[in-house]
Amino acid sequence: MVINSDETCIYVLTQQGQVIYCDLKIKDFGMDEKNPVEQFIFNYFISQFHREEITGLDVCTRKQLIATCSKDKTVNIWNVKDRCLEIEPLQCSNEECTALAFHPSGLHLLVAVTDKIMVYNLRAEKLTKFKEWPIKNCCDIKFSNGGHLFAAVCENKEVRIFDFYKGESPEFMQFDAQKVACIDWYENDMGFTTCGIDGNIYFFDLFVHT
């Protein structure tokens, strides 16, 4: 812990990795009026952070929002402009979150856990579960620039392309790569690139012009 130079505020780092503070000038008292107990109230310094390792992060292209997920099984939506949480941390599952992706509109969020990918709608500063796909061991997700498609990396090697609105994954849109580290779409959404842990970069065209 540390106290500021004029000794009016104290800052504490907890075992859970949270930074909290207390204004020493503001005090509270217990319920017993005859023997009041002086108490100090602690609040989060910025916002409530994740308690464990962050496993996924994505930025919304049309809103000032960032989404993060963690091994603590929660999802946070951050407001970049105000530097605070947009909504309360979401306990999305009893399993660790492995990846997530923000829809370009900022209205939908994909969250991957061990045995599925869940779709959440973001409305009125609240995340509501909408549907899910039985996709196992997804380690990375990426929406296309238009938001109509998304790519899911499964088992670190298989890249599957889904139609977000129809929920379909045609056979010809499945590819194999070696230990995919990251994925990115072409600007025109006609294909994507993958980067492997071995340093190799692959280019995939979804639609071939004849």
Which tens digit of pLDDT belongs to each residue from 34-88? 555 556 777 765 666 766 788 889 999 899 999 988 888 888 888 888 877 888 7
Read off the pLDDT of residues 138-155 as tens digits, 9 standing for 90 and up: 889 999 999 999 999 887
CA dihedral 177, 178, 179, 183 (to 10 degrees): -40
Residue where the block lists tokens 């204004």: 23
- 31 in a domain, yes or no? yes
CB 154 within 8 A of CB 136: yes
| C-alpha neighbours within 13 Å on the C-beta side of residue 70 | 17
Do residues 111 and 200 share a domain?
yes
- 200 in a domain, yes or no? yes
Do residues 32 and 68 share a domain?
no
Phi, psi values for residue 171, rounded to 5°: -60, -40
Do residues 74 and 12 share a domain?
no
So what's the pLDDT on residue 15? 67
- 11 in a domain, yes or no? yes
Q: Comparing C-alpha atoms, which of 88, 121, 128, 127 is closest to residue 103?
A: 121
CB 24 within 8 A of CB 40: yes
Lowest-pLDDT range, 28-37, 120-129, 163-172?
A: 28-37
For the chain, the first-to-last Cα distance in angstroms comes to 66
Do residues 59 and 150 share a domain?
yes
Do residues 57 and 17 share a domain?
no
Do residues 195 and 171 share a domain?
yes
Region 102-125: what's the mean pLDDT? 91
So what's the pLDDT on residue 32? 54
CB 146 within 8 A of CB 189: yes
The pLDDT of residue 162 is above 80:
yes
The pLDDT of residue 12 is above 90:
no
Do residues 39 and 116 share a domain?
no
- 210 in a domain, yes or no? no
Do residues 132 and 196 share a domain?
yes
Percentage of residues in the chain having pLDDT higher than 70: 80
Do residues 134 and 164 share a domain?
yes
So what's the pLDDT on residue 26? 63
Domain count along the chain? 2
Do residues 177 and 194 share a domain?
yes
So what's the pLDDT on residue 101? 95
So what's the pLDDT on residue 117? 92
Do residues 37 and 84 share a domain?
no
Do residues 147 and 195 share a domain?
yes
Q: Provide the CATH number for the domain around residue 158.
A: 2.130.10.10
Q: Comparing C-alpha atoms, which of 149, 145, 150, 157 is closest to residue 200?
A: 157
Give me the domain span that covers residue 29. Answer: 1-45
